[in-house]
Structure 1
Amino acid sequence: MRSFLYAIAIGLVGAALLHIVIILSLPSFTGRDAYTRVQTFGENNRFFPLAAVGDTLAPLNDDPAMKTAVCTFSVENGPIRLFADGDVPFWSLAVYDEASNEVFSMNDRTSVSGALDTLVATPIQLIGIRKALPADLEQSILVEMRGEEGYAVLRTFVPTQSRQQAAVGFLADASCETFTPN
């Protein structure tokens, strides 16, 4: 009798683990994972604003007090520089790899000058950059990314309607471009 109960317990634990694995891997099989959805918004190396919940374009932003933009990129041909500056009460940045694992995150409180100035590169690219750091990057935060493709999510807080225009301008002026040293 004890071996029968043991077999049932092992079977239930195994079935639970199998279901968890299937549920967690389901987005990658359906093509509805975050990276695949973000790629459909437009070309690489450009921030695209995400719509609010009621909009059908890209209903990913569910907080009306936050404005969000996303940029897909590839560091295969060179590092990517993420830059934004503006008069907004709060902003945050998160960089993800193609498997939607968070590689790096920061906000305006942890930035050097209050502006977003980040360079995302592979480990080999960063070695070359650190050997001869260009003057452009003296205040930049260097981020190492193991893979070659990913996306960045930039968010800003809009506490009142009067701050709406500044937030929209902040996201519209944000850049996500391949870095070429001068």
Structure 2
Amino acid sequence: MGRFILAILIGLVGAGLVHIAVVFMIPRVSDNSAWSRLSSLGEYFQVVRIAPLRDSSSSASEPPSETPRERFAFADPAFIVASCRFELGDGPVEITANGTIDNFWSASIYDSQGGNIYSINDRAAIDGIVNLVVGTPQQIEEVRATTLLEDSPALPVIVDVLRGYVTVRVLIDEESKRAAADSFLRSVTCLPIDIRPTAAASGVERDS
């Protein structure tokens, strides 16, 4: 009986120590999350470059980046990567890149906790173009009520969060393609769009 009670006490003490350790680790883990690290690289709607934790990005073969860069463990050395945080409180955001590219690319949208909520690649995108309009259900309905998506390859993406980030990855399967891929990635934009009707569109006339 005594040994049983002792085992219970040891278990309770051990569980208490584990709980205390977890509580002390939360701030450190939070500071090292993708969201926190991206926050330190740029403001909302600013596209930043991400390098893999272990890569040869300092080699002469890779063109210098014109945007902030930090090494991330989740960045695959076979890809070059850009990311952007967005906030939907004032409206939807449009994510685009200029033209198309032969290299495989993918775009993934995450919530602020790092959960993947949407992904697409060059094979699934319309004409292989990066063009996403991201918004809440109500915002996307408002976009569809305008002419913004008429004759446009933009894909509406409905999310149930107000904050998140997008990551665009381009595969470097041949070193000779790196410069073109880097140029493509540097063309990525992540900008809010205004879906409020103009005075002319809403039928409001100005006083003469």
Q: TM-score, normalised by structure 1?
A: 0.79
Q: 1:13-162 alignment to 2 at 5 Å?
A: 27-28=29-30, 31-52=31-52, 53=54, 57-60=69-72, 62-84=75-97, 85-135=99-149, 138-162=152-176
What percentage of aligned pairs have identical amino acids? 25
Cα gap change, 1:93 to 1:24, in 2 (>3 Å): farther
Give the unaligned 5+ runs of structure 2: 59-68, 198-208
8 Å CA contact 2:143, 2:149 repeated in 1? no
**By how many angstroms is 1:104 displaced?**
0.7
Aligned residue for 1:94, secondary structure, equals: strand
Q: TM-score, normalised by structure 2?
A: 0.70
**By how many angstroms is 1:94 displaced?**
0.7
In structure 2, what residue type is equivalent to 1:145?
A: V
Tell me, in whole angstroms, the C-alpha distance in 1 between the residues paired with 2:194 and 2:151: 11
**By how many angstroms is 1:170 displaced?**
0.8
Q: Greater RCO between the two (CA within 8 Å, min separation 6)?
A: 1
Cα gap change, 1:135 to 1:127, in 2 (>3 Å): closer
Aligned residue for 2:125, secondary structure, equals: coil
**By how many angstroms is 1:43 displaced?**
2.3
Aligned Cα root-mean-square deviation (Å): 3.2
1:163 maps to which of 174, 177, 182:
177
Aligned residue for 1:37, secondary structure, equals: helix
Tell me, in whole angstroms, the C-alpha distance in 2 between the residues paired with 1:32 and 1:75: 24
Aligned residue for 2:51, secondary structure, equals: coil
Tell me, in whole angstroms, the C-alpha distance in 1 between the residues paired with 2:76 and 2:115: 22
8 Å CA contact 1:83, 1:174 repeated in 2? yes
